[in-house]
Amino acid sequence: MDLQAFFKNEGIPLYTALPFEVCKVINPRLLERTLPDARSVLLFILPYYTGRDEGNLSLYARSKDYHLYAKELWGKLSALLSEAFPEHHFCSFVDHSPINEVHACGLGGLGVIGDNGLLITKDYGSFIFLGEVLSDLEYTAFGLPEPALHIEGCLHCGKCRQACPCHFEDCASGISQKKGTLTPEEQELFFKTDLIWGCDHCQLVCPLNKNAQKTAIPFFYEERINTLTAEGLDAMSKEEFEKRAFAWRGRAVPQRNLALWAERAERNAPTINPEKETTS
């Protein structure tokens, strides 16, 4: 099994394997349900950056939902691992993981940990998704270079905190994804994202993201939506909608967000004084 050749072929530039005991378990229940006797973790990054085109969606949410790509990738990777190690067990995770993914990737030397809480890689910045596979194999069995096993921090320049609408007390990206009615305070923070879904401010100002390279993974260039409109959203079939990263809270949430921006634009539109408009 040549894992490095597999990742290269998939356009995945950074990966490592760690002994499980150095990872921070943050969801013991999930670990118990999946692989309680985990001995190692295989980690990799999925760069998603394709440029900074104008739009009203967070950059991560403009391609189809990255979970679809992760699922496809896992199908291939699990076949490879099961063939090479038929006696062993493997479980894959993206986002919802038993371990702290950012901490593990930092320990693995895949990047530095930013003051904004994100992993920042040298070539792809923080415009990445993290993925991992837990296994009951020794980490050395994957045949990958040794992990760094120490964590490095970012430049601590403070730009991300200054740019954050919530000054890191909360996250407006999360607010944009909340169900139901937003309070007036939440609405103000939501408007400060300048988007209808997510928030990119802390990433866009980070000097370590300045020269981020574009991804080599074709999936992130397919069927992109930079700007979502109410009409575009209404016209999407159920299947089309469910393929998008902004679908996971249901259609009502992006609909509400679009309506909030529309109401705000109407409120702020200059009013026309009919008397002044009258010509003599």
Q: Residue numbers of the site for ligand SF4 (CB under 6 A)?
A: 114-116, 154-160, 163-166, 168, 171-173, 199, 201-202, 205-208
Least distance between ligand SF4 and beta carbon 107 (Å): 18
Cβ distance to ligand SF4 smaller for residue 168 or 221: 168
Please give the single-letter amino acid code of residue 200.
Answer: D
Least distance between ligand SF4 and beta carbon 193 (Å): 6
Least distance between ligand SF4 and beta carbon 168 (Å): 6
> What are the φ and ψ backbone dihedral angles of 55, each rounded to 5 degrees?
170, 175
Cβ distance to ligand SF4 smaller for residue 88 or 161: 161
Cβ distance to ligand SF4 smaller for residue 43 or 102: 102
Give the whole-angstrom CA distance, residue 239 versus residue 223.
13
Least distance between ligand SF4 and beta carbon 26 (Å): 19
Cβ distance to ligand SF4 smaller for residue 207 or 232: 207
Q: What is the DSSP string of 157-205?
A: -SHHHHH-TTTTSS-HHHHHT--SPPPHHHHHHHHTTTSSB---HHHHT
Is 80:1 a contact under the CB 8 Å cutoff? yes
Say which DSSP state 92 is in: E
Torsion of CA 46, 52, 54, 56, to 10 degrees: 40
Cβ distance to ligand SF4 smaller for residue 46 or 113: 113
Least distance between ligand SF4 and beta carbon 58 (Å): 8
